[in-house]
Homo-oligomer: A and B are copies of this chain.
């Protein structure tokens, strides 16, 4: 009988890179001191992943859906539901969800500040939230959550909703808040509801004490909510339904949490986990170990910091982010190496020389104490190109992890 293990997916966001002159022509992954990654590469198998296919540059949501074993084109609900779930707002099949911003408009609903000054206290957020959350318009229920700074998420719940509508956020100042428009015949009612909601939010928020107080303090009032990224939460087969597994996400960024929850993972928050280089690496390791010891079948750990460094064109910070993640992995291996099968990879390449996602394949290593090792002895884009895994696709990763972990039934007899 195949012994069962916990399948662990460790994603360093934007990991893949190109040679960097400031790093003596090495990639950040090559330049970083990564004893744990290198040990696993030496004892395991390496390869490259064309996450969505050769030449395609993955967005973060599409990339993660692929790594979770889903075809983006078949299950992508739009950004709204993923962000809403990531923000901790309930969203269910049939709901339509949006990313939301507090903004400042004049009496003609012309946008003065798209972020209403960006600075909000938790109390302000809660006070504003309770004016919107729980509203009902024409039989459609509104759920709203204020998250960080001016940001939030909003969900419509009711019969006959459509995600095929345009943003109310004009993505510019000095112009009026947009009317949402239906992009499909059956989306008329949803667009109408959203346009009523825009006016209602203005009426509810404009004279609030919170806003009077903000103006007194020289801050723009949060007197409207702008919506973007409408998407309908579709009913997709969850990981539990597809594989019968109990899956957990440990991530700091809302999009990653939301995408994981969309496919049915449970989210376990870690005190101090953020999307930055100063995230609580030790706390993440501790929580991962706990999940593995608790016998969860699958644990997804997401580290955002390498991607941020790339977007900031900062090779040294990317090296540091990689080294801290390697150290974190060391803490996990110390405790539960004999209980796991692990894949370490990125969701896409974000070269520090480019500052944006590119189509370069991303390196991956697979390790368990029983996996046949290949000849590769360190983890990098260049070494991985010679590994036994050759070139994989993103959607291969989930079945490989679960297959080696003994969590997929034999096909046929």
Contact = CB atoms under 8 A, between A and B. Distances in A.
A50 to B, nearest CB: 8
Interface in A1-30: 1-2, 18-19, 27
Contacts of A404: 55, 358-359
A398 B59 contact: no
Nearest to A62: B412
The range of chain A's interface size is 35 or more
B353 A62 contact: no
B370 A353 contact: yes
A408 interface: yes
A408 B1 contact: no
A54 B399 contact: yes
Nearest to A374: B385
Interface in A334-362: 353-360
Contacts of A56: 399, 403, 408, 411
Interface stretch (A107-115, A117-125, A298-306, A389-397): A389-397
Contacts of A187: none
A382 to B, nearest CB: 7
A411 to B, nearest CB: 5
A358 B4 CA distance: 12
A391 to B, nearest CB: 5
A389 B48 CA distance: 9
Contact of A412 (B48, B72, B408): B72
Interface string A400-413: 11111000111111
A58 interface: yes
A347 B60 CA distance: 35
A56 B403 CA distance: 6
A98 to B, nearest CB: 14
A282 interface: no
A372 B360 contact: yes
B55 A412 contact: no
A266 interface: no
Given A63-B412, A411-B59, A54 B375 contact: no
A410 to B, nearest CB: 5
Q: 6 closest A-B pairs (Cβ-Cβ)? A: A62-B412, A59-B412, A55-B399, A55-B403, A359-B403, A385-B388
25 contacts: A1-B355, A1-B356, A18-B372, A27-B372, A54-B392, A54-B396, A55-B396, A55-B408, A56-B411, A57-B403, A57-B408, A57-B409, A57-B410, A58-B410, A61-B412, A62-B412, A72-B411, A72-B412, A359-B403, A359-B404, A372-B381, A375-B385, A375-B386, A385-B388, A389-B391
Given A374-B386, A375-B385, 6 more contacts: A2-B356, A27-B372, A54-B403, A59-B413, A358-B404, A359-B403
